[in-house]
Chain A
């Protein structure tokens, strides 16, 4: 590169004008003739970061994202807020997610009394109730148990719960971002219990947090002996405060609310507790007037993540080949397949699973698509899992659950691509009117 040239100003506007003209001239071809366009100043000029020192390695002892990524954030809305954002939720930007892991700083954050900040030196976990030998563990003693690391999503069962009666959020982040995924490191609860003599009559376990809301939930003993984990690690580092530092319980696949954070106590009993979050909330009212309680698992689900209302297709040109991407997940098993529809779930083609396909985990899927400018699409994805479940249509789900359930909505999700490539969140459903009901 010519060093003198680096100081010369190349008119960027001129460049883009010429480039645009050359693109129209040869639309449809992907190889652009080398002398049809102006030289790109991003290539022709020395870049500022190439002509001076960068930061010393001593800067940012704990690394942070590039300053250019400042819009990739957890977001909230006042309509989902209570208690000065202390009994509230901030959701994960799924439109920017990659792979099947969420960076810890973007993991959705939900609490009922604010994020607690626990001194690890004062941390204690007490296990008692219907067991031969109650114990209390310090953090150090807890971490001495043999560790396991597992990749699991955690989903608030109210993910999509604002949209039972129709679409509300023209945003992937808000329509589906009440979830995130991490590799959790901890120990199986059953490993701790091996020495404690859990009694036969113990059918239930209370998991209780030490935060201001003292959040507690009743867990059936089956999960305790299956895959319940007491975790202290999240993607290779200590849990973040928002995820329950220093210790939470993770019940793979089950409601995020059941995965009690800032965990302080596990008690075994013969009867369930009826905590506020398993009666007043996290119960699914059906049209029969009965509400489902103890609705543990998040059912099979999926969504398109690219395109999204946030990052749409308005910059695509006719004939561009683009990857439609999405996530599929099931708290009831392993994803076995995903189908994709271009007409709102009327007709489907098979989409392709990508990368690791793990139990009770986010699974990436994709479909290569040749973009046709001006064509309207209704992108709907539909997943199946190895327990035999398939996502219902909205009509199927609503016919049993009605529209007042709030939680556990897993009907297929549809994203409309308009003629100009904008993306809108829509629902494909039968709308009942008073008269024809």
Chain B
């Protein structure tokens, strides 16, 4: 029934090939060929399906076999220079790769903070006004709040996820401030300034390096930053470090229970009767909930309310009048001598003629669709040149 790409089948382990065959032929409600293992027989990295190329198709999509079978080595672009790579390769990794030399004290950081950060992040990093806080107090104590979960006690305090209490790596902070802060003048801080700011943020999070408090005079440098042990460094799963990391990730997502997902057995019908816990109740939104939407919610299909915008005579002149008045057809912009004979009839007459048009070649309102009042503003501009 299915013609398989031989190369693909040969390159796969037997188990994977079998899984693929089963999936392809037995998939009841969908005829899309999928697999939950990769070509090497390992589980997918995200616990989901993958769609190997079979019969020149990946899932429902045709693929050009000239490209898919043996990806041709297309040789576009050029090799960047060493300087170019260095200019862009500015990320900073936990092992110190990319972390520059430099130094700064918490005291210096405090001054920079007050000059460049406090407006958004608040005193001592307290946050507010929709801006993130950078500290809520002692990092080591607050790390213990991470097991707080308000499903058991809705009134209780939630977990505190600050730099000090939550982040697994200190290098992240240096990298982020260097690249992305301060708004809106990003990438404007020197390495020493960033060291000083990191020292200050460690200080307000009451953190230690090698058992020593990061106090006001503490000089932070590259070597010391790399010694920081974040209180929550072991607070994350799955493991992503080391050469076996990807297998650890695979194993984690192979078990739905790890991430709150539910699976049903192949071919089984899902629950159709009594599928909610007997204790489940209907929970309504408290009060109006969050409802200050911008713009306000509406599904009305009417004409938008007209906004009265003041006419911009200079731009009307440019778009509508200039083609004549700027080309010797009709009196020129602000040219007193040329306007004099018209103005001699009085402004009332000038307006009226211009609104209704003249036999001498002036179209009604110059061809514009302005209101009389707006049009008169443009006439004034045309006569006076300003």
Contact = CB atoms under 8 A, between A and B. Distances in A.
Nearest to B94: A274
Interface string A370-395: 00000000100010111111111111
Given A274-B171, A285-B159, A285-B161, A191 B257 contact: no
Interface stretch (A12-20, A163-171, A239-247): A163-171
Contact of A195 (B73, B277, B298): B73
Contact of B60 (A214, A292, A359, A405): A359
Nearest to A277: B176
Contacts, number: 415
B84 A71 contact: no
Interface string B58-92: 11110110110001111111111000110011010
B32 to A, nearest CB: 5
Contacts of B88: 126, 264-265
A216 B27 contact: no
B297 interface: yes
Interface of B is mostly: loop
B322 to A, nearest CB: 20
A68 B261 contact: no
Interface in B107-164: 120, 130-132, 146-156, 158-159, 161, 163
Residue with the greatest number of chain A CB neighbours at <10 A, chosen from B151, B257, B286, B291: B151
Interface residues of B, number: 130
Contact of B262 (A220, A297, A337, A389): A389
A397 B71 CA distance: 42
A87 B258 CA distance: 31
A420 interface: no
Nearest to B272: A348
B249 interface: yes
Given A195-B74, A336-B30, A396-B262, A77 B79 contact: no
Contacts of A430: 277, 279-281
Contacts of A354: none
Interface string B264-291: 1110001111111101111111101111
Contacts of A426: 282-285
Given A292-B259, A293-B240, A428 B47 contact: no
A431 interface: yes
A356 B120 CA distance: 47
Interface in A275-320: 275-276, 279-280, 283-285, 287-297, 299, 310-311
A279 to B, nearest CB: 5
A421 interface: no
A285 B145 CA distance: 11
A434 B152 contact: yes
Contacts of B21: none
